[in-house]
Amino acid sequence: MNQNLTGRAIEAFIALEETRRFALAAKRCHVSPSTFSQMISRLEDQVGARLFDRDTRNVSLTPEGEVFSHGAHRIAAEIRASIEELVDRASHRKGRVTVAATPSLSADWLPQRLAEFRDRFPDIELRMHDVTTVRCLEMIRRGDADFSICAQPGPEAEFDNVLLFQERYHILCASSDPLAKQKEAKIADLRNRSFVHMVRTGSVRQQMMPLLATAQVSDSGLEVANFGTVAGLVAAGFGISIVPEHAVRLCHRPGLVAIPVQSPKAVRPVTMLRRKGRSMSVAAEALWSQLEDRKRRNER
């Protein structure tokens, strides 16, 4: 018995079962009566059993036809459901997007962009993970996220990278600190100051290490992963620190001030990236395109 049945054969079976007339079933399947009769005969040959009893007036299911009917309708229903699902996804009535982003961008910038997308496509499910840049890349590699928004680009051989914008770094200090009176701070202003560091694996530490080395900052001995913790330590008098612009809100508390760093090198690239050569869902492509469009509008 050949089990490689086609959707066309299933359609022909259901048409004859429901119409009980070869001519009507053939018309429904958009073929000639003789072609339709051959389709039913081939189907019966494939399953190895007679599915219909027919004479000049009547067509009815055989016992084997009754058995086959249950499976045929189940398959037809699954095909219809799949097609409806794809149509809904193509028209953005269904779907899901999962984005991984660094914590500072997840706190304010990305939620605003997601809200804009939700207003356009309210039926698409949105998921967001606020993780480090290293974890962002891992999630994309594993397929746990459609794309990510990171503080640095991924390897070009593995990822498609789109630079969204550059954000300035800010010095975080107490409002009583002499630096707080300045509109901008130079890297040289940090010389010999006690410094609270971000973890070595984070993008802030990796990007700012060369500049901080020239300033010869004094290591406070404190190394933390969260911007809120940095703010707490600076507020408690353990030193100063440096945070990207979108992290300033995470560090907001009485008695602290954030001053922009006056250096063309003290900027952090915010990059959108995805796996190279991999297709994303229609929903994910829509959000990716929206962010690209926003980037182009901002560049005009």
CATH fold label, 7-90? Arc Repressor Mutant, subunit A (1.10.10)
pLDDT tens for the chain, 300 residues long, are 445 678 899 999 999 999 999 999 999 999 999 999 999 999 999 898 999 998 767 899 999 999 999 999 998 888 888 877 777 767 677 889 999 999 889 988 999 999 999 999 998 999 999 998 889 999 999 999 999 999 888 899 999 999 999 999 999 999 999 999 999 999 999 999 999 998 877 788 888 888 888 888 888 989 898 899 999 999 999 999 999 999 998 998 999 999 999 989 899 999 999 999 888 988 899 999 999 998 888 776
7-90 and 167-268 share one fold = no
Q: Considering the domain delimited by 167-268, tell me its CATH architecture.
A: 3-Layer(aba) Sandwich (3.40)
The 8-class DSSP code of residue 225 comes to S
User: What is the residue extent of each domain of the chain?
Assistant: 7-90, 96-164+269-299, 167-268
The reported pLDDT for the residue numbered 83 is 79
Instruction: Determine the 3-state secondary structure of 193 from DSSP.
Output: coil
Counting every residue written for the chain, the total comes to: 300
Q: Do 168 and 299 form a contact (C-beta atoms < 8 A)? A: no
The pLDDT assigned to 85 comes to 75
pLDDT at position 1, please?
45
Closest CA to 247 of 81, 161, 96, 132: 132
Say whether pTM exceeds 0.75: no
Report the top-level CATH class of 96-164+269-299.
alpha beta
* DSSP H helical ranges for 121-271: 133-142, 203-215, 227-235
Give the pairing of strands 125-130 and 96-101.
Answer: parallel
